[in-house]
């Protein structure tokens, strides 16, 4: 027999339904409002007199207060504890191993860059649980000097954007839309071929006897707050759908990809794997620093305008801050890094110690005068404060506490320049990197 609901019951049900809708709308409104509030209320500080007074953590003193007096104590005690801190509290740890199973040379020709270079496109393949993961490395190697030293760096919009070369394969990985490059529907097309050639001085690099190797970073992990794609899911345990609090965000995943490229270089006779310089701009400069810190096979590291979470000191809170970067890009760092949102003073480290992790290998920090958001002075100070660790190894770092003038590079094992102009990579930057690499990496 059909049971009828009584009239009061019906009314109560209706009321409950309405209340649920209201609660849902309230929560939605609260969420949007608080985010919008944050966006509206964040005022970057660009006033040097408002930079807080803070203590710079001493890279040569252990967390327990022991002074580090020689390279042995640095290498065996201090470096590991710093690396551990950055791993579990800033970038996140790689949760396991995922080894390349094969590589295929998809395309190769000797007539690139006016016949001065060999172009090589290599597909790197990984497998786990019957699923495949791939990325592509595009290389231009000087025909005049093999095995070649190489600059390795990610690009933002696909390998085919770095040069106007019809033979470069267009990636089908997800990409952020950029209508000015003809990128809509998150897909790369022919229209964007060569659009970023201004950032890659390929001819200068080849003429100087170096190769260039580049990878589209979205093939390792698409740059969006979504952990269901890219390399992360290959490491999930049953039921897991995103990394744990101390596990890798996107920057650590991108750095992992650079190390896998290095694995490949160690198998390519055309490349001198002992002379690979890892380069990156902006978020990818944060990535090159982390790759250099975690993988000692990189012979040199370049950070171009890397800013907050890269070369800039977090405790200065000048321009972009920890809270701001974690709000705008929640997927870049590990979730533990959020403990330092508006709480930089609690950090027992700062970014100069990330640079120190690269010691004694050469490192170049570059800023741009108009790139205040990335805090040029904070980037300089990081290079300066990392210097005592280089000195411990008998290497020269930054010797003057004064920031060098614009376009007046200081090129020791630790190098720094501030270029005129905006947040970008220019020929000027590449000219400096080549000069410095000649001396500091190739020992010319």
Residues that bind ligand GTR (CB under 6 A): 282-283, 307-308, 320, 325, 328
Q: How far apart are the C-alpha atoms of 141 and 270, rounded to whole Å? A: 8
Q: How far is the CB of 311 from ligand GTR (least distance, A)?
A: 11
Comparing CB distances to ligand GTR, the nearer of 186 and 408 is 186
Is 423 one of the annotated active-site residues of the chain? Answer: yes
3-state SS class at 349: coil
3-state SS class at 215: strand
Q: How far is the CB of 171 from ligand GTR (least distance, A)?
A: 19
What number of H helices and E strands is found in the chain? 11, 10
Neighbours of 294 (CB within 10 A): 21
Judging by DSSP bridges, how do beta strands 211-216 and 300-304 pair with one another?
Answer: unpaired
The residue from 171, 282, 288, 382 that is catalytic is 282
Comparing CB distances to ligand GTR, the nearer of 128 and 423 is 423
Judging by DSSP bridges, how do beta strands 271-281 and 300-304 pair with one another?
Answer: parallel
Q: How far is the CB of 379 from ligand GTR (least distance, A)?
A: 12
In the beta sheet, which residues pair with residue 411? 415
Q: How far apart are the C-alpha atoms of 310 and 292, rounded to whole Å? A: 12
Comparing CB distances to ligand GTR, the nearer of 148 and 250 is 250
Query: Are 395 and 361 within 8 A, CB to CB?
Result: no
Strand residue runs (E) in 338-436: 363-368, 410-411, 414-419
Q: How far is the CB of 307 from ligand GTR (least distance, A)?
A: 5
Q: How far is the CB of 284 from ligand GTR (least distance, A)?
A: 7
Is 282 one of the annotated active-site residues of the chain? Answer: yes
Query: Are 104 and 123 within 8 A, CB to CB?
Result: yes
Q: How far is the CB of 156 from ligand GTR (least distance, A)?
A: 8
* Nearest CA among 195, 114, 122 for reference residue 158: 195
Strand ranges across the sheet with 148-155: 100-111, 117-128, 131-142, 211-216, 148-155, 271-281, 300-304, 363-368, 414-419, 410-411
Comparing CB distances to ligand GTR, the nearer of 8 and 179 is 179
Comparing CB distances to ligand GTR, the nearer of 59 and 285 is 285
Comparing CB distances to ligand GTR, the nearer of 145 and 197 is 197
Q: How far is the CB of 308 from ligand GTR (least distance, A)?
A: 5
Phi (first) and psi of residue 171, to 5 degrees: -70, 145
In sequence order, which ranges of 109-172 are alpha helices (DSSP H)? Answer: 112-115
Phi (first) and psi of residue 101, to 5 degrees: -100, -25
Comparing CB distances to ligand GTR, the nearer of 300 and 307 is 307
Catalytic site residues? 282, 423
């Amino acid at each position: 027999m059909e049971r009828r609901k009584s009239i009061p019951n019906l009314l109560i049900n209706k009321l409950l339904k309405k209340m649920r809708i209201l609660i849902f709308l309230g929560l939605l409104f609260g969420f949007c409002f608080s985010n919008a509030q944050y966006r509206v209320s964040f005022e970057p500080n660009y006033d040097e007199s408002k930079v807080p007074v803070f203590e710079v953590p001493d890279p040569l003193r252990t967390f327990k207060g022991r002074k580090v007096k020689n390279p042995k104590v640095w290498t065996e005690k201090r470096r590991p504890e710093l690396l551990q801190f950055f791993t579990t509290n800033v970038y996140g740890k790689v949760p396991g191993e995922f080894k390349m199973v094969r590589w295929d040379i998809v395309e190769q020709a000797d007539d690139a860059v006016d016949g001065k270079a060999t172009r090589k496109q290599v597909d790197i393949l990984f497998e786990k649980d019957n699923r495949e993961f791939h990325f592509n490395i595009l290389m231009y190697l000087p025909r005049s000097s093999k095995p070649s030293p190489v600059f390795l760096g990610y690009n933002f919009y696909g390998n085919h954007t770095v040069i106007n070369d019809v033979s470069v394969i267009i990636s089908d990985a997800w990409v952020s839309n950029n209508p000015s490059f003809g990128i809509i529907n998150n897909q790369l097309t022919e229209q964007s071929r060569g659009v970023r050639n201004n950032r890659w001085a390929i001819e200068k690099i080849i003429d100087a006897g170096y190769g260039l190797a580049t990878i589209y970073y979205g093939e390792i992990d698409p740059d969006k707050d979504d952990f269901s794609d890219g390399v992360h899911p290959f490491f999930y345990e049953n039921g897991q759908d995103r990394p744990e609090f101390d596990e890798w965000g996107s920057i650590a995943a991108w750095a992992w990809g650079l190390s896998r490229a290095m694995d490949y270089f160690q198998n390519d006779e055309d490349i001198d794997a002992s002379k690979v310089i890892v380069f990156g701009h902006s978020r990818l400069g944060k990535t090159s620093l982390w790759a250099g810190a975690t993988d000692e096979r990189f012979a040199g590291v370049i950070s171009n305008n890397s800013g907050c979470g890269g070369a800039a000191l977090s405790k200065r809170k000048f321009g972009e801050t920890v809270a701001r970067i974690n709000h705008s890009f929640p997927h870049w760092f590990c979730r533990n890094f959020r403990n330092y949102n508006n709480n930089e003073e609690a950090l027992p480290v700062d970014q100069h110690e990330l640079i120190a992790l690269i010691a004694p290998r050469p490192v170049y920090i570059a800023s741009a005068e108009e790139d205040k958001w990335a805090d040029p002075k904070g980037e300089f100070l990081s290079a300066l404060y990392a210097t005592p660790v280089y000195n411990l190894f008998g290497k020269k770092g930054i010797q003057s506490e004064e920031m060098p003038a614009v376009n007046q590079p200081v090129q020791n094992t630790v190098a720094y320049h501030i270029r005129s102009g905006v947040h970008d990579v220019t020929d000027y930057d590449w000219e400096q990197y080549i000069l410095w690499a000649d001396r500091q990496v190739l020992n010319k």
